[in-house]
Amino acid sequence: MTSQTQAVVTDADDGSIDPAAQTQGLGKQAGDIVGFSPGQLMWRRFKRDRTGVLSAFVVIFFFAIAILAPVISKLYGKDPYTLYGQNNSDLLNEFGYPVAPNGGVSSSFWFGIEPGLGRDVFTQLLYGIRTSLFISVAVTLATVTTAILLGITSGYLGGRADYFIGRVSDLLLAFPSQLFFVAFMPIVVAIFVDPQDETPTYLRVTALIAVQWFLGWMGLSRILRGQVLSLREREFIEAAKVTGASSWRIVRRELLPNLVTPILVQATFMLPGFVTAEAGLSFLGVGIIEPTPDWGRMFAKGGDIAQNDITYMFFPGIAMVIFIVAFNLLGDSVRDAFDPKSGR
Amino acid sequence: MLRFLVRRTLGALVILLFISAFTYFLFFAIPHDPALLSCGKNCTPDNIALIHRNLGLDEPIPVQYFHYMVGIFAGRHFSVGDCSAPCFGYSFANSDPVWPTILNRFPLTLSLAAGGIVVFLLVGLGAGMLAAWRRGTFIDKFFSSVSLVLSSMQIYFVGPIVLALLVYNNQIMDQPKYVPISEDPVGWFSGLLIPWCVLSIIFTAGYTRMSRSTMIDQLQEEHVRTARAKGMSSRYVFFRYAWRGSLIPIVTMLGLDIGTLLGGAMITEFTFSLAGIGRLAVDSVLRTDLPMLMGVMLFSAALIVLFNIIVDAAYAFIDPRVRLS
């Protein structure tokens, strides 16, 4: 395996002809020594990692069904809101449970029927994944942006700004995070809506993003601060300063490209955490509420009915296990591809 | 050591002061009247005025906050009654005093956390060390894959399934419940066994992965190789050299986890209908019971800060190179 410091590899084991390799190795025989950028090296290492590629496909699959949920449900012919079980009395028995075995799984209801309301589980899960992934991606983007801003500021400027940001993140780290999410959900909602009115869904989503963002950025910000502290003393930054580059240019052109690795790796590890945290909040009844489909809310429903219809629980549950495992494996592979020395 | 403890305690108090101020101002300074929140959907102006007077909400918020903080140390007098020394006010929902309610709920949360910690430490550290010892073999790969899958097993997924399979449908175990250990140790153990196991799944996976990787790092250290070269048995080197060296990251993680767990395992308590601190927090949120929530928040934050100090002090005992100053 090649290491990052050695930015030169032979092109022998890779059959494809790289355009960069072609220009570099103009007029020479195949198998010559060719230069690659760190990004190309990372991509070559990643392609060779079978687990990584497989988990990347699984993750892409989940995002694809989240984005395409309306199209899929249109082709499938059902939506997550219609109460099929109540409209058609053959589907649910007098206790509200599916008549057919295994939670009503059949060719027309692929994942069965939700007990009680009689909605379609398949579209519920599709749209639930859509809601959860949307929220988690938004939280990840918000936390990563904040962490980049504050981490680079405190590392590069140092002094008073560094001290202030450091103390604030110390303070936020002492907050009991799960309790904070639960406690501040209604507060954030109440800032915008009178408690006696109905809360619109987009506001609950905004509040969920806000509370998770608020306590989410400290870890990455500290990592970036440490990186910037060591990068700041390197010669190339000094050279840029001597040539009269502005601070903004140094941050943008010299520092940020060197921080892509920790940012990408941490973001891949953060996202599944946000998915499970959001699902936990909806499970407790303070996140997304009826009738909006949500991954976590399906667990709350599944818990209520597990005694009589255990099948329902397995669809959101196994989907989540696959998603989290794939994402964690992807995170490991991305880390190994960027930094092969870190090892497992 | 003493100087270190005093300094850290003062720092912790400052952090708690900030947390209390932040929480109080956000809770009570939202544009809507907190009395309105506590009063519910059908509220008369008379009720609101009464709540205002009972809770001292008609004063400006900084003054309210000052009274609240003084009340924690000196007690407080409300028109509804006296509230003695650690006074965190009264619940909006049912007028229970906050501090006794928290104390009342704490034994359950403590039992839940203690049992869960024992389970995940035994299983997690054991599996991790075994995997490190037999690195690269089948055992290692097996434990690593199992911990990867277990780390994605959320409590809200596994808990209801375990309940349905073991309790409701096959009656192998009883419904989880809490009996004080002083009254019935056997009932305490069997009542909390399922919650302990389910709670510790994700932690077990985390500790397996971490203890494996730190043990592997330690086994590659120079002093470990020297000890082996001197002819010490691999078992002795493994336990006396490598194991001691890998304690620091484990203790760091454990301290954070204990602090968090003692502040209430919300999802576990909710799943198994156990009335601990976490359940109290969730119920208070659903009823918008701000004083109760404020009390639980401060209680949990204090535990996290306390265990941070304990972890830092523990470093000095584990690693003699660490000098506290």
Give Cα separations from B297 to B102, B243, B304 (angstroms).
11, 36, 11
Examine the domain organization and report whether A112 and A225 are in the same domain: no
Q: Taking a contact as any Cβ pair under 8 Å apart, which residues of chain B between 129 and 188 contact chain A?
A: 148-149, 151-154, 156-157, 159-161, 163-165, 168-169
Q: Is the pLDDT of residue B95 over 90?
A: no
What ranges do the domains of chain B cover? Answer: 32-87, 102-323
Cα–Cα distance, B89 to B54 (Å, whole number): 10
A15: helix, strand or coil: coil
Q: Cβ distance A152 to A255 under 8 Å?
A: yes
Examine the domain organization and report whether A77 and A134 are in the same domain: yes
Examine the domain organization and report whether A137 and A285 are in the same domain: yes
Model pLDDT, residue A195: 62
Q: Cβ distance A56 to A101 under 8 Å?
A: no
Residue A279 lies in a domain: yes
Q: Is the pLDDT of residue B324 over 80?
A: no
Examine the domain organization and report whether A283 and A216 are in the same domain: yes
CATH classification for the domain delimited by B102-323, as one of 2.60.40.10, 3.40.50.1100, 1.20.1250.20, 1.10.3720.10 = 1.10.3720.10
Q: Taking a contact as any Cβ pair under 8 Å apart, which residues of chain A between 210 and 239 contact chain B?
A: none
Model pLDDT, residue B93: 73
Per-residue pLDDT averaged across B40-55, rounded?
A: 68
Give Cα separations from B284 to A27, A182, A193, B98 (angstroms).
75, 10, 19, 11
Strands of B37-156 (E only): list them. 76-78, 81-83
Give Cα separations from A247 to A241, A260, B149 (angstroms).
8, 19, 45
Answer with the one of A70, A95, A119 that is the final residue of a domain. Answer: A119
Residue A37 lies in a domain: no
Model pLDDT, residue B196: 93
Inform me whether the C-beta atom of residue B291 falls under 8 Å from chain A C-beta atoms: no
Q: What is the pLDDT of residues B255-290, one digit of tens each?
A: 889 988 888 788 999 999 899 999 999 888 888 788
Cα–Cα distance, A1 to A54 (Å, whole number): 20
CB B297 to CB A280 under 8 A? Answer: no
Domain hosting residue A131, numbered range: 62-82+120-338
Model pLDDT, residue B179: 84
Examine the domain organization and report whether A331 and A310 are in the same domain: yes
Residue A214 lies in a domain: yes
Beta bridge partners of B232: none
Percent of chain B with pLDDT over 70: 90
Tell me the residue type at B35.
Answer: A
Cα–Cα distance, B133 to B147 (Å, whole number): 16
Examine the domain organization and report whether A282 and A168 are in the same domain: yes
Examine the domain organization and report whether A285 and A167 are in the same domain: yes
Q: Where are the alpha helices (DSSP H) in B185-319?
A: 185-219, 222-229, 234-236, 243-245, 247-262, 266-271, 277-286, 290-318
Cα–Cα distance, A52 to A138 (Å, whole number): 24
Return the closest-CA partner of residue B200 out of B139, B278, B147, B244.
B147
Per-residue pLDDT averaged across B110-117, rounded?
A: 93
Model pLDDT, residue A120: 86
State the Rg of chain A over Cα. 25
In whole numbers, what is the pLDDT of chain B averaged over residues? Answer: 84
Return the closest-CA partner of residue A204 out of A291, A120, A266.
A291
Cα–Cα distance, A180 to B26 (Å, whole number): 12
CB A196 to CB B260 under 8 A? Answer: no
Model pLDDT, residue B180: 86
Beta-carbon pairs below 8 A across chains A and B = 136
Residue A89 lies in a domain: yes
Which sign does the torsion angle of CA A295, A297, A301, A303 carry? positive
Examine the domain organization and report whether A105 and A171 are in the same domain: no
Residue A50 lies in a domain: no
Of A183, A279, A323, the CB nearest to B285: A183
Examine the domain organization and report whether A111 and A137 are in the same domain: no
Model pLDDT, residue B3: 83
Q: Which has more confidence, B251 or B27?
A: B251
Q: How many domains does chain A have?
A: 2
Inform me whether the C-beta atom of residue B206 falls under 8 Å from chain A C-beta atoms: no
CB A186 to CB B164 under 8 A? Answer: no
**Closest CA of chain B from A103, distance in Å:** 15
Residue A211 lies in a domain: yes
CATH label of the domain that carries residue A164: 1.10.3720.10
ipTM of model: 0.85
Return the closest-CA partner of residue A130 out of A12, A242, A298.
A298
Model pLDDT, residue B291: 84
Model pLDDT, residue A11: 41
Model pLDDT, residue A65: 92
Q: What is the pLDDT of residues B178-223, one digit of tens each?
A: 888 888 888 889 889 999 999 999 999 999 999 998 998 888 888 8
Cis bond before residue A291 (omega within 30° of 0): yes
Examine the domain organization and report whether A103 and A158 are in the same domain: no
Q: What is the pLDDT along chain A (344 residues), one digit of tens a residue?
A: 334 444 444 444 444 444 444 444 444 455 667 788 878 888 888 888 888 899 999 999 999 999 998 999 888 888 888 877 777 777 777 777 777 777 777 777 888 888 878 888 899 999 999 999 999 999 999 999 999 999 999 998 888 989 999 989 988 888 888 888 888 887 888 777 766 667 788 888 998 999 999 999 999 999 999 999 988 888 998 899 899 888 889 988 889 988 888 898 889 889 999 999 999 999 998 888 888 889 999 999 888 888 888 888 899 999 999 999 999 999 888 888 887 665 54
**Closest CA of chain B from A275, distance in Å:** 11
Q: Cβ distance B290 to B25 under 8 Å?
A: no
Examine the domain organization and report whether A300 and A331 are in the same domain: yes
Q: Which residue of B has its CA nearest to A170?
A: B15
**Closest CA of chain A from B183, distance in Å:** 30
Examine the domain organization and report whether A234 and A207 are in the same domain: yes
Q: Which has more confidence, A10 or B3?
A: B3
Tokens of A189: 């909602």
- Chain A partners of B296 at a C-beta cutoff of 8 Å? 179, 183
Return the closest-CA partner of residue B157 out of A169, A160, A117, A306.
A306
Q: Is the pLDDT of residue B92 over 80?
A: no
Residue A270 lies in a domain: yes
Answer with the one of A119, A138, A165 that is the final residue of a domain. Answer: A119
Model pLDDT, residue A125: 92
Model pLDDT, residue A4: 41
* Residue B87 burial (CB count, 10 A): 23
Q: Taking a contact as any Cβ pair under 8 Å apart, which residues of chain A between 183 and 212 contact chain B?
A: 183-187, 190-191, 194-196
Show Cβ contacts of residue B102 under 8 Å, excluding neighbours closer than 6 positions: B88, B277, B280, B295, B296, B299
